[in-house]
């Protein structure tokens, strides 16, 4: 099984590398065709839809994977809940469009929010049968499915950006790509869902904690969208969103696909805590080796990354990326615990850890953002993460029967080497700037 897990993780990482290649090209083009304000308007709409979707995101995919035995009725029930939730989200988005535009003081936001609500309804109709790819460790099929979704999105968004030259390229691109993927999901898997709530009791027992987890995850990751958007407007929010997205890249693009492959594998080891603990430490060492140096490199080379990838009109994102990259390191180190808690059937523990994180974050945001704007928000993310990370480590090691020193041994080398790399690069960059080689 270990070899199969490794192969699956490798495929998911390969997918993310290909995805980021497309994403990097897309970002280069879109950032030069569109303005920060365009990204900010879309981020305002996405923050609202993310908030509304919290109360309908039951994590049923994870519930299907975590269960040892599933029937056709479980799949039908999961699909039915997804459709009901997606349609409800679309209606709530339409109802919230005008109040949200008043909150952000941005009248152009109304139609954007309605369009994003429609896209949520479309996405809810996707074939739930594709969950089998992960449940049965068919990572090659999962790889092809996910890659196709990214290629479709890329192929639609870029021509629209050249044609429209505004935020509608992003919105319409989302709508059209989700329509295409809806049809594709029924091509790649033979399952044909029907409306049923027969297995709702089995799934909702697990999923009630997934809803709570989604809520605290949202409050941990997206409160700045509302606060920065309100204070700094779409221009400031666009800059903050892009810097935050870049800072999270190692977590979302390298670590997330590894965790995606690990959840079904961890679930099969849930009855053997010793084996699960060993697997957890092994994965943590690999995650630290792959992702921590990347985050440190982003922080050290932020001026080059922003100017090269995005261009001069994004210059304000440099200082934000230098700060938010340290938040990215904390995300890299804690995401593996989420998969382990789910596999153990203990999503409530992760909810409580995240709830603590959220309390610290909200206190820091309200203390720093009104005075320091988007830069205060960036430091609030870093401070709260540094407070919450040790709590995460202590709890997960206890559940897996590990010592905290075991975890430190697994990750200390990449952390130390990345720190040295960061200090050397920063020192060299400062010397070059003082000598006039860098602007």
Burial 287-323 (b: 16+ CB within 10 A, else e): bbebbbbbbbbbbbbbbebbeebbeeebebbbbbbbb
Question: Does 214 reside within a domain?
Answer: no
Residue at which a domain ends, from 174, 208, 242: 208
Same domain, 198 and 232: no
Encoded tokens for 151:
């290629």
Same domain, 192 and 285: no
Same domain, 197 and 247: no
Q: How many domains does the chain have?
A: 2
- Cα 324 to chain centroid distance, Å, stands at 15
Same domain, 170 and 266: no
Same domain, 202 and 275: no
Same domain, 301 and 349: yes
Is the pLDDT higher at 240 or at 148?
A: 240
Same domain, 202 and 349: no
For 64, the domain range is 1-208
Same domain, 303 and 346: yes
Burial of residue 437 (number of CB atoms within 10 Å: 0-12, 13-18, 19+): exposed
Note the pLDDT tens digit of each residue in 250-283.
666 667 666 666 667 777 777 787 888 888 888 8
Encoded tokens for 343:
């596999």
Same domain, 131 and 265: no
Q: Is the pLDDT of residue 200 over 90?
A: no
Contact of 360 with 383, CB cutoff 8 Å = yes
pTM of this prediction exceeds 0.85: no
Note the pLDDT tens digit of each residue in 12-60.
556 556 666 666 677 677 777 888 888 889 888 888 887 777 655 666 6
Same domain, 57 and 131: yes
Average pLDDT of the chain is 81
What residue has token string 């009248």?
107
Question: Does 283 reside within a domain?
Answer: yes
Encoded tokens for 132:
């089998």
Q: DSSP character for 63?
A: H
Short-list 108, 78, 81, CA closest to 171: 108
Same domain, 184 and 248: no
Same domain, 171 and 33: yes
């Amino acid at each position: 099984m270990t070899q199969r897990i490794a192969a699956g993780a490798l495929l998911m990482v390969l997918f993310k590398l290909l995805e980021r290649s497309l994403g990097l090209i897309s970002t280069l083009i879109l950032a030069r065709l569109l303005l920060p304000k365009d990204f900010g308007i879309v981020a305002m709409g996405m923050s609202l839809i993310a908030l509304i979707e919290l109360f309908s995101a039951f994590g049923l995919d994870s519930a299907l994977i975590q269960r040892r035995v599933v029937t056709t009725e479980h799949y039908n029930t999961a699909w039915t809940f997804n459709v009901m939730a997606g349609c409800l989200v679309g209606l709530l988005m339409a109802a919230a469009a005008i109040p949200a535009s008043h909150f952000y003081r941005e009248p152009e936001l109304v139609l954007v929010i309605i369009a994003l609500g429609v896209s949520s309804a479309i996405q809810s109709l996707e074939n739930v049968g594709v969950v089998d790819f992960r449940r049965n460790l068919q990572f090659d099929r999962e790889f092809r499915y996910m890659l196709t979704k990214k290629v479709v999105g890329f192929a639609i968004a870029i021509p629209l950006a050249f044609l429209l030259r505004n935020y509608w390229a992003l919105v319409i691109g989302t709508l059209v790509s989700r329509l295409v993927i809806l049809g594709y999901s029924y091509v790649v898997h033979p399952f044909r869902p029907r409306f049923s709530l027969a297995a709702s009791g089995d799934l909702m027992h697990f999923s009630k904690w997934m809803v709570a987890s989604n809520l605290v995850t949202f409050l941990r990751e997206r409160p700045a969208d509302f606060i920065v958007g309100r204070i700094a407007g779409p221009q400031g929010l666009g800059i903050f969103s892009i810097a935050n997205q870049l800072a999270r890249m190692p977590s979302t693009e390298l670590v997330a696909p590894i965790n995606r492959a690990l959840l079904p594998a961890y679930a099969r080891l849930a009855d053997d805590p010793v084996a699960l603990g060993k697997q957890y430490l092994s994965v943590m060492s690999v995650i630290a080796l792959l992702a921590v140096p990347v985050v440190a490199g982003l922080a050290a080379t932020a001026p080059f990354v922003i100017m090269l990838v995005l261009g001069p009109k994004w210059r304000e994102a440099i200082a934000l990326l230098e700060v938010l990259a340290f938040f990215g390191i904390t995300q890299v180190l804690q995401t593996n615990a989420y998969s382990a808690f789910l596999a153990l059937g203990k999503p409530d523990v992760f909810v409580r850890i995240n709830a603590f994180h959220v309390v610290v974050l909200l206190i820091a945001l309200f203390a720093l953002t009104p005075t320091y704007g988007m830069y205060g928000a960036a430091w609030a993310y870093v401070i709260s993460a540094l407070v919450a990370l040790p709590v995460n480590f202590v709890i997960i090691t206890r559940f897996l029967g590990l010592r905290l020193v075991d975890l430190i041994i697994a990750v200390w080398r990449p952390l130390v080497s990345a720190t040295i790399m960061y200090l050397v690069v920063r020192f060299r960059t400062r010397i070059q700037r003082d000598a006039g080689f860098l602007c």
